[in-house]
Structure 1
Amino acid sequence: MKQKFYLWIEEYLFFPNNFQKIISFLLLPLTFIYMLIILTKRAMAKQIEFGIPIISVGNIIVGGSGKTPVTINLASKYEDVCIILRGYGRASKGLQVVSLRGKILVDVKTSGDEAMLLANSLPKATVIVSENRVTAILKAKELACKIIFLDDGFSKYHISKFNILLRPKDEPTNIFCLPSGGYREPKGFYAQADIELLEGKDFKRVISIKKDGKISELPTKTILITAISKPKRLLEYLPKDIKMISFPDHYSFLKEDIDKIQNEYKEYVILTTGKDLVKLKEFNIKNLYLMDLEIEISKDVDFSLMNEYIESFNKGV
């Protein structure tokens, strides 16, 4: 029942049916108030210069659009890099140094799933989670990091940074901001990006199936377990008859969740994403398969502006 509700919400926000469109229109007064708050915050923000290159990888729609894998792709090209993110779904509060130049210092409950995925994927990077991005940036400088990537930092108007915005391959038919639609910021804000990357044109997702770190074929009886935003997007990479059980984004799996699934689907192997795998490892699941996601960025994308921005700090400008 919960799974159907979350999928209904996803449909309402992005690709509403006629009934959902009515609800969307009824909520427009609240949407206008929300947009007024966003525009006021942006207009009144006084940007802080930190003396270090800060690259924000963000989007303006609710939920995932490839921010984390794109961040991994870009950050892997630099030395002394720090990734800063809020750490949604973590049990901790405040600033936590998840990894320091590749050495992981906390567990996944403290870090949150995305931060741990970043820490595992970037073995030389520093990863920090914090609700306060300013505090985290100052901590990164204290740790002698030379470049910072903000995961989902576009809306931090008070931070002077270079903005990369990701645009989905399938643009939502619902063009409104919350709560009438799935946009966190007005659609026109794409024009505020220093670089805009369109999925399918500027970058694409490459999926491989792995078991115990090796490329593998999926058995016929497979069930997908995931707790990511917009889980239906995974299905285009998988066999049509695959079963899926989805949980809310950043959900912390419980032993009873896994026991229930394994009892109900005794003959099935379990498939999951990298973001979910960091939380499922503790359950020692047999026959656990991974949807390994990598991002390929087109050679036609011009990163010269970003390179000039980074180089300006190296020159002391």
Structure 2
Amino acid sequence: MHKKLVFWVEEYFYNPSFIQKIISFVLLPLSWIYCFFMYVKFKSKIAEDFGIDIISIGNLSVGGSGKTPLVTALASRYKNVAIILRGYGRKSSGLYVVSNGAKILCGVEVSGDEAMIYAQKVSEAIVIVSENRKKGILKAKEMGAKIVFLDDAYSKHDIKKLDILIDVESKNLSCLPSGPFRERLWSQKEAVVVKEGTHFKRVVELKNKSDKMSLLSAIARPQRLDKYLPEVVSKNYFEDHHSFAKDEVLDILRRDNSKSLLVTYKDFVKLEQFGLPLSLLDLQVEVDEYIFKIIDNYRGK
């Protein structure tokens, strides 16, 4: 039931049917109230300077936007870097140091999938999960970080930072609950908007390919993968951040008589513990120097 609801909501936000458009229209008054509340919240905040360069990468809407590979590419450029995120979907709470920049200190259930991606792909970075981003920043400073990347923190208006927002196309431009937008790009707030295909582009590498693969995906809006996919036996979609049980994964392999499961890195970090045959659709991004110049100019101020 939960899985069906998640997929229904994704369709409602990004590719609504006629009935869903009617529901969205009916909910518009609630969206106006919500958006006004978010504006008041924004205006009530005073940005605190932590004495360290802080860059936030995110998007204004719910659902996937490609921020994880973008943060990975950006953070890999710098030294003495920390990546801080909430750690959505993890089976823990509070602040955890996932990686100290030399060693991974916990498992994926504690870190969450996205934090483990950062710990593995940006191996020299400090990676911290914390619902309280301010505590995470202070911990990163204590550990010697000189630049911090915040994963999805535009709404943290009480933190002085450079906001970089990924432009996500949607047929529904309303705020929650009528549409997918969590917040507006407020005219009084400085932010840099970047677009896939213009300021960064995806590079896809297929690793450990087999001649019979079943796609397994627990990312937001998994249909985004379609244009990168090789031929697969079946497509098996789960809700974003789904925690897999070994038996449900084995059932797919047995049902399809596949030789491997085709996964993205987000699911790879959760599935590798099972010791099953995995093929990896490794999605990375190449970043235009435009973005690096913006970051470097911000750091030079």
TM-score, shorter chain, exceeding 0.5 = yes
**Which structure 2 residue ranges, 5 or more long, are not aligned?**
none
Q: Residue 200 of structure 2 corresponds to which residue in structure 1?
A: 203
Q: Residue 262 of structure 2 corresponds to which residue in structure 1?
A: 271
TM-score (norm 1): 0.90
Q: Partner amino acid for 1:210?
A: K
- Give yes or no for contact 2:219–2:241 (8 Å, CA) kept in 1: yes
CA shift, 1:71, in A, is 0.6
Q: Residue 315 of structure 1 corresponds to which residue in structure 2?
A: none
- Give yes or no for contact 1:54–1:162 (8 Å, CA) kept in 2: yes
Matches within 5 A, 1:214-233: 216=209, 219=211, 221-233=212-224
CA shift, 1:274, in A, is 0.3
Q: Residue 124 of structure 1 corresponds to which residue in structure 2?
A: 124
CA distance in 2, matches of 1:119, 1:173: 35
* 1:68 counterpart = 2:68: yes
Q: Secondary structure at the match of 1:308?
A: helix
CA distance in 2, matches of 1:247, 1:102: 33
CA shift, 1:243, in A, is 2.2
**Aligned pair count?**
301
CA shift, 1:249, in A, is 0.8
Percent of aligned pairs sharing the same letter: 47
1:282 to 270, 273, 276: 273
1:309 to 282, 288, 298: 298
CA shift, 1:132, in A, is 0.2
Q: Partner amino acid for 1:236?
A: K
**Which structure 1 residue ranges, 5 or more long, are not aligned?**
313-317
Tell me the alpha carbon deviations over residues 77-123 of structure 1, each in whole angstroms, 9 at most, x when there is no partner. 11110000000111111000000013100011000000000000011
- Give yes or no for contact 1:165–1:193 (8 Å, CA) kept in 2: no
Taking a change above 3 Å as real, the CA distance of residues 155 and 137 of structure 1, as seen in their structure-2 partners, is: same
Tell me the alpha carbon deviations over residues 145-171 of structure 1, each in whole angstroms, 9 at most, x when there is no partner. 111000101110100001111113xx1
* 1:45 counterpart = 2:35: no
CA shift, 1:260, in A, is 2.1
Q: Residue 54 of structure 1 corresponds to which residue in structure 2?
A: 54
CA shift, 1:199, in A, is 0.8
Taking a change above 3 Å as real, the CA distance of residues 98 and 235 of structure 1, as seen in their structure-2 partners, is: same
Q: Residue 8 of structure 1 corresponds to which residue in structure 2?
A: 8
Q: Partner amino acid for 1:294?
A: Q
CA shift, 1:31, in A, is 1.2
CA shift, 1:38, in A, is 0.7
- Give yes or no for contact 1:95–1:128 (8 Å, CA) kept in 2: yes
CA shift, 1:283, in A, is 1.0
CA shift, 1:4, in A, is 4.8
CA distance in 2, matches of 1:273, 1:173: 26
Q: Partner amino acid for 2:293?
A: S
- Give yes or no for contact 1:102–1:122 (8 Å, CA) kept in 2: no
